[in-house]
Amino acid sequence: CILSVRAGTTRRQARIEDGRPFRFPTTAAEALPFKVDVLEPVASARFVLRAGDEKRTDCQYVIPLEAQAPSKDAVGTPKDQIVMSVTVAAAPAEEEGAEKGGAAPEGTKEIKRNSSSARLSQACTAREYLDRHRLVEFTQLLIESVIKEQPDKPYAFMARQFNFPEPQPRPGAAAKAAAAAAAAAAA
């Protein structure tokens, strides 16, 4: 579940399990309306714009959403899955020099200092995940393949690399591995 808290015009969201406090750049008097919602994800998708697409205004993307869990009716009988998608149109971001609002609100430096240790923790967690699944190596090899092959449609080429089936053990490989382990133990 997701805890969503709105204080005035600022909204903060996090998984309930995180247990992190929310900090808002407003006083209690400015935090009106104050609203708390508990949300449950129904479907999700992750989408990364291709390089340069963030500046285009002539295109949009239809992104299929994956259901988080099979839905059931009131009696617990599985219902037919609803197919969902969202349409996203990219719009150019504002220039960095044209930021709104001028000076930073009071207390921003304290929040940034406190969040640096959180960022370090997130970076360590992310690195462990990348290492555990060898994603950095895979991504490097994928980019090397694109550079070497230089396909006309590089995104389609990369997408095909993700569609290979999982490797299967070779016939007799388990017996050979067991014999090698026994020989190593005897030595």
Mean pLDDT of 127-150: 89
Residue 98 is predicted with a pLDDT of 44
pLDDT per residue as tens digits for the range 148-179: 889 898 988 888 887 766 666 666 666 777 77
Residue partners of 16: CB distance under 8 A and separation at least 6: 1, 2, 3, 38
Q: Is the pLDDT of residue 25 over 80?
A: yes
pLDDT per residue as tens digits for the range 74-108: 666 666 667 788 887 766 655 444 444 445 555 54
Mean pLDDT of 23-37: 84
Residue 160 is predicted with a pLDDT of 83
> What mean pLDDT value characterizes the chain?
76
Higher pLDDT, 49 or 30: 30
Residue 52 is predicted with a pLDDT of 66
Mean pLDDT of 20-33: 82
Residue 63 is predicted with a pLDDT of 81
Q: Is the pLDDT of residue 1 over 80?
A: yes
In Å, how far are 56, 143, 153, 158 from 163, measured between CA atoms? 28, 16, 16, 9
Six-digit token pair at 99? 């930021």
- CA–CA dist 46, 80 (Å, integer): 23
Q: Is the pLDDT of residue 31 over 70?
A: yes
Residue 128 is predicted with a pLDDT of 92
